[in-house]
Structure 1
Amino acid sequence: MKTKNIILLLLVGLFTTSCSKEFLDKEPFDKLVPNSYFTTEADLALFSNSFYQDFIPTGLSIVQADEMGDYTSKNNSPTFIAGNFSSVDQGSWNWTKLRNINYFLEKYNNPNISQEARNHYAGVARFFRAYFYYEMVKDFGDVPWYSKTLTTTDEDLYKPRDPRAMVMDSVLADLDFAVANIRPAKDNSASMITKWVALGLKSRICLFEGTFRKYHEDLKLKTTANQWLTASAAASEEIMKGSQYALYSTGNPSSDYRTLFTSENPVSAEIMWANVFNNSIKRWHEITWKFNSATYGARWGLNKQFVNTYLNIDGTRFTDKVNYDQILFVDEMKDRDPRLEQTVRSIGYKRSDGSAAPPNFGYTFTGYHIHKFSLDDKRLDGVAEGYNSITMMRYAEILLNYAEAKAELGPMDPEIWKQTIGALRTRAGINAQEPAVADQYLKTVYFPEISDKYLLEVRRERGIELVYEGLRYDDLLRWKKGKLLEMDWKGIYVPALDLEMDLDGNKTPDVCFVKTIPAKTTAGVVYYVVDGSAAKLSEGTKGHIIWRSDEEREFSDKKYYKPISNNDIVLNDNLVQNPGWK
């Protein structure tokens, strides 16, 4: 982000009231926005910067969103998956950010400002309104559509929810306006909303809505799914033909992928939109600390089932190997898709001081120790001073959106494969051959309802390429695959108890799995207790780590939507609770 933009964003503060009704009759920025405001383009720019402050998630929350994904182990599941979650716990039925947008759209249209400038900033506002409603529909399904500011006496304050189809049509109208009116100049800071980012959001939202309607037949909107998939493909294709972005590649597949996630300045060749962090102004995050702390973090790790989906470097399937599920960690990491060793600590990984850094079971439970967004400086393991910018949208996602929309619409042809999945695998450094047949591992473990070999590969590639970028849970929702959240948290293969194991190939032991910690221990070895309470081995004295085997995870159909809070239902008796919630 340009320094002036960072400073501007930091200077513009927002009130953060709750969803109580009393905020509705107050002007946003009532000390900054007298009646004579909105008289220059600078005024529009200043106010619209408040939308960024409102909507851009923290760096940590972007990656942390994937702890709701099926491929992540952690201390324990969120209560939404394993616990006593109810409508009493729900607090996201909140409309404050929307009022700020609608207020702007009612006040911005001053004829003394050029029409082009007014249209641009109205487009930015409508981009964020689409973003807001997309998140609300994901959470709740039907929601009331408000395109005006409300007062405490406004009857619409107590209106019932509007149908999903009507709300999403309005979202699409906002996106189309944004695409048509937001300025097209590429922003190399990757911090501002441009036409290309608006197209990217349209690509994402239309793919979500199209697949959600296709796989959630209870909505009775399946006949309209292809309209949304076609719109997603068209938006993606417009970005592709615009030639503003490309897959970042220096020709070094062993580092290019991870560079996207550890760079201070966003790699704007590929990254379209990012939450920008910066050492010089001390704008930092705590992601490295979270990934490398036994106490502060949730001790995230990937699960074996997902790691199995990474191909071999020659493009063949790892799961076609004989006894693929009983291969030692140091062997299963060899000759794999290079993105795997850039996502988890692997053979030969070292910190910035040159010290060996095998997977640390003090920080992860499964042995697949994530470091995709984690910086290599050990000092950052204990302080919130991470300075790498965190991507929110990049060109790789657009290619995946296009590939998936085309595969869903069918059929995918060799040219689409080459433009999308083939291009991603080529950048990654693996053979980009098309699949000969459908992958039985993916069908058996993940998607038994999918028979199309191309669609299976698109879903594989989406998981691998976008892991921990905050999109996996949304994918599970739209594919109606919430049941995957119930699967075991499976770790590396352990051939025997009391065996000291080398995980990084340097001939020194790193971990030993035991029933009890021995009286005599080896320096540098982590002793992992598998006593059957929270952790066990799948075959008793050997096998895969099964972490939190004591936890009952459950994803029933009602959980495809969140409940509306009891407080809001009491305040508005026209609201009807989502099915299955009390």
Structure 2
Amino acid sequence: MLKEIYSDSGSQNKKSKRNCTFKVMKRKWILLAMAALAFSSCELNETPKATATEEDVFGSENGLAAYSRSFYGMLPDASNAYNRDAMADYGAVNNLNSFIREGGYSPETSDGWSWGDLRNINYFIEHCTDPNVSEAVRNNYIGIARFFRAYFYLDKVMRFGDVPWVDHALGIDETDILYGTRDSRAVVMEHVMEDLDFASQNISSTSSDGSLITKWTALGLKTRAALFEASYRKYHPELNFQESANTFYQYVVDAATELMENGPYSLYTGAGVEGSQRALFISDAPLTQEVMWAVTMSEDLAVMSSANWWWTSATYGPRYSLVRPFINTILNLDGTPYTSRTDFQTEEFYDECQNRDYRLAQLIRTPGYSRKGVAAPPNFSSHTYTGYQPIKYILDDPHYDNGAYNTNAIPLMRYAEILLNFAEAKAELGTLTDADWAKSIGALRARAGITGGLTTLPTTVDTYLQQTFFPDISNPIILEVRRERQVELALEGFRFNDLKRWKHGELMANLQWSGIYVPALNVLMDLDHNGSYDVVFYDGNTEGPTIAVPSGCAKVAIGGKSTNYQTLTANRHLEWFKAQPRKWYEDGRQYLYPIPSTAIVKNNNLSQNPGW
């Protein structure tokens, strides 16, 4: 019965399956030393079965390096790093995640309560004591281990809230811990800060090709972890931790300031305003001017991702389509809100894409986008429901669309995030200055070609942004920082946790999954104005369009017997999945995942999260 909190439980997702079986890294390494394999274990009270002696592993820097690389198996990999925003309020998909369906998720189906990675890390820290290796070298690798312990626990707190804090490899007789209760998130997150402080102060590497962590990565993770905890405490008064929120906001500011002033990073601008942001996601080698940490691919080692396949397939992927309320928040080039255009509700696709922040054209297919020299407007035949078809992670050659062929590196952390974390923390503290704005939000907008409002703090509330997304926020600075975050980091895996920490989970159920404006049915539409018709929408109660439709033009039914998923809003915008309501419970249970029932059966000292 010692598996209670330390063995895998529930159905496992791709990430948690890697807790018991270490896989070869999706990096540039061909093999890892057998020592790294020897000390990976499924349970925290299980003695590892060694194929190398402890002296082999812990008695040399090479042994420590080999072992430390086993920690990287915790990270998103080639199979899933590109779809971390698979469940988000702004992503319309062909099948609702069970977590946002009424009755679709429960403690019986929950997972993620797996602890093998922690056993591996703690065993290393506990045994990295051999005096034959200098203290500085040992502390470097202990710093790496503590970085990954912080990463592990941040994920657990984001998912479950209170969790057991364990800082050593447990023995079989430590039943008070093995069958203990959960520790408060307050305790756990203070330890996370301590681990990241140690990591940033002791990891010796200050530069990397993007695949290995450095002291700067540790500082970056501290800004991410502290920002999550600060805002969760501020916007979740039921925790009674609001008084300590500013302490964590200050952690963000301090770590970000050190990184910004002393680190080697800056925003990448080498591809100009029209292409620099997207270049970060389609380059084979990480663009380390900005990318601090990445999943790298290798065609030679057959380590490639399915990014194109997932984002462009009608069957392999979810036909992920961004939605109009989110697209509406992307600014005009002059820095004014798009929704300040008097006719924004009736602009057709071509017109709404003109004179916008250049990140719009780097995020979705817009007029002028092509693949291998062929115009490629939004593909309603098989790829998009709303007309806003993402391109952020995909390579433009269709060759990559039908399998695991992608070689582009996928950023896990980049300098842009640090700027956003810094700006948000200072905005929440009320200390963001014009100079701070200019070097963070202003710099990001300038990189995207925006010309207005780059050097002074905003003073006017954008009522569309406020009413649609954040009705509880009246501070124009905080609103604009949040706008910038959701635009700059779109599809990078932050959105769901952002909504949770801001206590706006209701957007997961309520944000309208609408799309482009459709002026009339049975009208051929040339979406990119290149002289070729792309789509015609028709009444689904009929057999098809009432007009002749040229070859290559998609025919999409609106409502009717063939489908009730694709409909039109009252103001004639596409709407997807209205017939399948999404659910966010009023009691707020979905801000935390339930503890898997199998874990509670094994240990009745574990309490269930509220509402579950």
**Residues in 2 aligned to 1:90 and 1:9: alpha-carbon distance in whole angstroms:** 33
Partner in structure 2 of residue 158 of structure 1? 179
- Match for 2:574 among 542, 545, 553? 545
* Amino acid of the structure 2 residue aligned with 1:6: W
Paired residues of 1:513 and 1:529 also in contact (CA < 8 A): yes
**Residues in 2 aligned to 1:185 and 1:311: alpha-carbon distance in whole angstroms:** 36
- Match for 2:565 among 527, 534, 540? 534
> Relative to structure 1, is the Cα distance of residues 447 and 370 closer, same or farther in structure 2, using a 3 angstrom cutoff?
same
Paired residues of 1:350 and 1:356 also in contact (CA < 8 A): yes
Partner in structure 2 of residue 517 of structure 1? 544
**Residues in 1 aligned to 2:81 and 2:234: alpha-carbon distance in whole angstroms:** 27
* Amino acid of the structure 2 residue aligned with 1:555: W
| Aligned-residue offset at 1:167 | 0.9
Partner in structure 2 of residue 174 of structure 1? 195
Q: Percent identity?
A: 44
Partner in structure 2 of residue 457 of structure 1? 480
> Relative to structure 1, is the Cα distance of residues 436 and 576 closer, same or farther in structure 2, using a 3 angstrom cutoff?
closer
> Relative to structure 1, is the Cα distance of residues 259 and 35 closer, same or farther in structure 2, using a 3 angstrom cutoff?
same
Partner in structure 2 of residue 367 of structure 1? 387
**1:135-534 maps to which residues of 2 (within 5 A)?**
135-155=155-175, 156-187=177-208, 189-250=209-270, 252-351=272-371, 353-361=372-380, 362-433=382-453, 434=456, 435-486=458-509, 487-514=511-538, 515=540, 516-518=543-545, 521-531=549-559, 533-534=564-565
Confirm or deny that 1:568 pairs with 2:587. no
**Residue deviations 1:267-287 (CA, integer Å, cap 9, x gap):** 000000000112333320001
Moved more, 77-86 or 388-397: 77-86
| Aligned-residue offset at 1:91 | 1.5
Unpaired runs of at least 5, structure 1: none
| Aligned-residue offset at 1:63 | 3.2
> Helix, strand or coil: the match of 1:462?
helix
**Residue deviations 1:133-179 (CA, integer Å, cap 9, x gap):** 11111111111111111244421110100111111111111111111
Aligned residues between the structures: 572
| Aligned-residue offset at 1:10 | 9.8
**Residues in 1 aligned to 2:276 and 2:335: alpha-carbon distance in whole angstroms:** 19
**Residue deviations 1:189-211 (CA, integer Å, cap 9, x gap):** 11111100000000100011001
Paired residues of 1:67 and 1:73 also in contact (CA < 8 A): no
> Relative to structure 1, is the Cα distance of residues 4 and 505 closer, same or farther in structure 2, using a 3 angstrom cutoff?
closer
> Relative to structure 1, is the Cα distance of residues 354 and 320 closer, same or farther in structure 2, using a 3 angstrom cutoff?
same
Moved more, 81-90 or 303-312: 81-90
Moved more, 164-173 or 515-524: 515-524
Paired residues of 1:120 and 1:183 also in contact (CA < 8 A): yes
| Aligned-residue offset at 1:504 | 1.5
| Aligned-residue offset at 1:526 | 0.8
- Match for 2:87 among 68, 77, 90? 68
Paired residues of 1:142 and 1:161 also in contact (CA < 8 A): yes
> Relative to structure 1, is the Cα distance of residues 521 and 248 closer, same or farther in structure 2, using a 3 angstrom cutoff?
same
**Residues in 1 aligned to 2:607 and 2:491: alpha-carbon distance in whole angstroms:** 34
Paired residues of 2:292 and 2:415 also in contact (CA < 8 A): yes
Paired residues of 1:65 and 1:473 also in contact (CA < 8 A): no
Paired residues of 1:421 and 1:432 also in contact (CA < 8 A): no
Moved more, 431-440 or 166-175: 431-440
| Aligned-residue offset at 1:15 | 9.2
Paired residues of 2:522 and 2:545 also in contact (CA < 8 A): no
| Aligned-residue offset at 1:34 | 4.7
**Residues in 2 aligned to 1:483 and 1:33: alpha-carbon distance in whole angstroms:** 53
**1:15-26 maps to which residues of 2 (within 5 A)?**
23-26=43-46
- Match for 1:559 among 577, 590, 601? 590
> Relative to structure 1, is the Cα distance of residues 493 and 237 closer, same or farther in structure 2, using a 3 angstrom cutoff?
same
* Amino acid of the structure 1 residue aligned with 2:580: E
| Aligned-residue offset at 1:258 | 0.9
**Residues in 1 aligned to 2:38 and 2:389: alpha-carbon distance in whole angstroms:** 38
* Amino acid of the structure 2 residue aligned with 1:482: G
Calculate the TM-score normalised by the size of structure 1: 0.95
Calculate the TM-score normalised by the size of structure 2: 0.90
**Residues in 1 aligned to 2:82 and 2:307: alpha-carbon distance in whole angstroms:** 8
Partner in structure 1 of residue 131 of structure 2? 111
> Relative to structure 1, is the Cα distance of residues 191 and 17 closer, same or farther in structure 2, using a 3 angstrom cutoff?
closer
